[in-house]
Structure 1
């Protein structure tokens, strides 16, 4: 088997265990904060938000640095750093005795991030360019699978073995990622880069043929994560407003939250392969348009079932968006700066994870639950129009 195929299979499992490990802690993080002595409703809400978002904020700041280091020292080294670093940071969280310790350890966890973007960059640098859309889409199914399975596994373990034990099990999963990376992933020798040859951030963008389009794709990544996260804070409350007599709101919310991942798993490799044939830009524009329609439609639902169906349909588009962005970033950047570009893109992804829930919570507080879907649709529509203009401008330049 060709080495890039072996690497693709290996990092698929590494990304799966990473997605599983990270997502299985998040559902019960407020419960753990409460267990650490935070009792009042206001303080619990504040600390839950802080401990959740600090990881993504720190990750957004350091991602370009790790991307630069990956271009110089190799991506396998960055994968080993991220998997082992996260395993240690999560293991230490099991021993936290107050919320400040947990907050600091969650910030340190953000410092160690970067497994999945470096896995993407490694595969992108080795796979034949004509198969890059399929390969990146296939790799994205690993993270999606982990994110679907993580909350279910985390909730089950928390109920049966206790909250602290979940941190130990999560650290073990990340250690498995480390071992898979260490023994199975092969990366060719990289030529040494002297200090004089290292590109500054300005020089990275100067080396791009279409820097404006690349920046536009960064903002598209932010918007994709924003529309995934904006619904999170209000989902359970919105379902409760539609079914006030129901006794299984948490179960319904969990199902409706997970259902887009199932359809994304189905669509991602197929749309990735289609993108290799007809162009990733067409897939990206079509899926963003579908997202706009679905979010507008969600603002009119009257039952949880209708919401679940629309979110399932949204998942078909969702599974193709980020891989399409990454395929276009690969197309419009050279091998010398791929790691840096993927690092910048990951920063925008993390920022979307922070901004999305803030927008969702703010809009619902000011205007009501249904307006969160409308506001999200408008943000995606603005991004779609702006991206279409940038792609058309690039087309005009390439023709001339």
Structure 2
């Protein structure tokens, strides 16, 4: 088996488990906060929001730092650091004695992340050009699927094995990811730039600044779209359902439908990006995703919503690998880890921003307006991508074809 393929398999598992570990706390957090001694409903909501959001905010800050370390020391050491650290910290959450310890551990979890950045950089730099789209497309399914399926997995473990055991089991899975990374990931790392560059110096060496910013924004908007429904999905399912039973299960299925579609479609759309150009896939996927959010506001039952969420997941699957492919193509290898780190920061901010957007729009306007506003964001991003990415790269592609 080629080295890049073996690394891809191990990194996929590790990124999936990391995604689960970051998001599995969402459905059980209010219950665990109550178990830790917080009884007032308002306080439960307040502490739950802080504990969930702080991980992604801190991750956005530290992701470029770990990306820089990956460029300096190698990607495998960063994989080992992040997987072992996450295993220990998530496992310790099961021993938390009060809500402040839990919040502190969630903050620490955000600080030691970086597994996804190192994985993406490793696969991007060590996979040949012919298989880059397929590899990055496959890899992109892991983090998104783990993040979207995480709430369902966390709820299932908590319901069947207990709240504390959900942390222990997730920590054990991350320890397995650490061991498999240690034994099976191989890296031929050569440090290309021995000088430590500042952020300003790094930015000066990025050849396609406008294109890079557009890709960061596109990744941010995508994650906002993925997570804007998280705060309102349970309430929306309750309104759509004719009976009160299995609301949590239906909400979990509706939210996870996008993740399932992503697993199915991302490798295929990654191959398509290799064949016709990633810029074409990004543009088409943004338009389709924006359009698919509109009918979600008019569904009559949970199953219609699940179908539309699944279709949205198919379009989202064309965005992440295509963004990563273009970043790989326009970024020098010596800076790949740092640039992917900044891109991952945009994604973490998108998770937090999406959750805040969904909750605030639903509170100030209505649940259905969440879908309209998210649709508008995606379609506006599509217009920007058309002028900043699609036209530019399409002209370059045509010019090369004429030579």
TM-score by length of structure 2 reads 0.94
Match of 2:111? 111
Q: How far off is 1:279 after superposition?
A: 0.4
Superimposed CA distance per residue, residues 120-174 of structure 1 (whole angstroms, 9 cap, x where no aligned partner): 1100000012321110111123334434554344323212332112211111111
Are the counterparts in 1 of residues 191 and 334 from structure 2 also a CA contact under 8 Å? no
* SS class of match (1:188): coil
Relative distance call for 1:64 and 1:334 in structure 2 (3 A) is same
Match of 1:293? 291
Match of 1:89? 89
2:377 corresponds, among 376, 379, 387, to 379
Gaps of 5+ in 1: none
Match of 2:163? 163
Gaps of 5+ in 2: none
* SS class of match (2:96): coil
Whole-Å Cα distance in 2 between the matches of residues 54 and 269 of structure 1?
31
Alignment length, in residue pairs?
Answer: 398
Superimposed CA distance per residue, residues 346-376 of structure 1 (whole angstroms, 9 cap, x where no aligned partner): 1110000111111111111111111110010
Are the counterparts in 1 of residues 152 and 253 from structure 2 also a CA contact under 8 Å? no
Superimposed CA distance per residue, residues 86-106 of structure 1 (whole angstroms, 9 cap, x where no aligned partner): 111112211111111111110
Whole-Å Cα distance in 2 between the matches of residues 142 and 360 of structure 1?
24
Q: How far off is 1:107 after superposition?
A: 0.2
Q: How far off is 1:320 after superposition?
A: 2.0
Whole-Å Cα distance in 2 between the matches of residues 256 and 245 of structure 1?
16
Relative distance call for 1:251 and 1:191 in structure 2 (3 A) is closer
TM-score by length of structure 1 reads 0.95
Whole-Å Cα distance in 1 between the matches of residues 140 and 202 of structure 2?
26
2:201 corresponds, among 189, 192, 203, to 203
Which stretch shifts more, 199-208 or 122-131? Answer: 199-208
Q: How far off is 1:229 after superposition?
A: 0.8
Relative distance call for 1:393 and 1:276 in structure 2 (3 A) is closer
Are the counterparts in 2 of residues 17 and 176 from structure 1 also a CA contact under 8 Å? no
- Mapping 1:79-158, distance limit 5 Å: 79-147=79-147, 149-158=149-158
Match of 2:57? 57
Are the counterparts in 1 of residues 94 and 167 from structure 2 also a CA contact under 8 Å? yes
What is the CA RMSD across the aligned residues, in angstroms? 1.8
1:229 counterpart = 2:227? yes
* SS class of match (2:318): helix
* SS class of match (2:113): coil
* SS class of match (1:232): coil
Whole-Å Cα distance in 1 between the matches of residues 246 and 383 of structure 2?
40
Q: How far off is 1:238 after superposition?
A: 1.3
Are the counterparts in 2 of residues 260 and 315 from structure 1 also a CA contact under 8 Å? yes
1:273 counterpart = 2:271? yes
Whole-Å Cα distance in 2 between the matches of residues 74 and 365 of structure 1?
46
Which stretch shifts more, 106-115 or 315-324? Answer: 315-324
- Mapping 1:314-333, distance limit 5 Å: 314-333=312-331
1:179 counterpart = 2:179? yes
Whole-Å Cα distance in 1 between the matches of residues 197 and 128 of structure 2?
26
Relative distance call for 1:133 and 1:396 in structure 2 (3 A) is closer
* SS class of match (1:310): helix
2:338 corresponds, among 329, 337, 340, to 340
Relative distance call for 1:177 and 1:381 in structure 2 (3 A) is same
Whole-Å Cα distance in 2 between the matches of residues 160 and 392 of structure 1?
49
Q: How far off is 1:193 after superposition?
A: 4.6
Are the counterparts in 2 of residues 73 and 190 from structure 1 also a CA contact under 8 Å? no
Are the counterparts in 1 of residues 297 and 369 from structure 2 also a CA contact under 8 Å? yes
2:215 corresponds, among 210, 214, 217, to 217
* SS class of match (1:320): coil
1:11 counterpart = 2:6? no
Whole-Å Cα distance in 2 between the matches of residues 395 and 21 of structure 1?
37
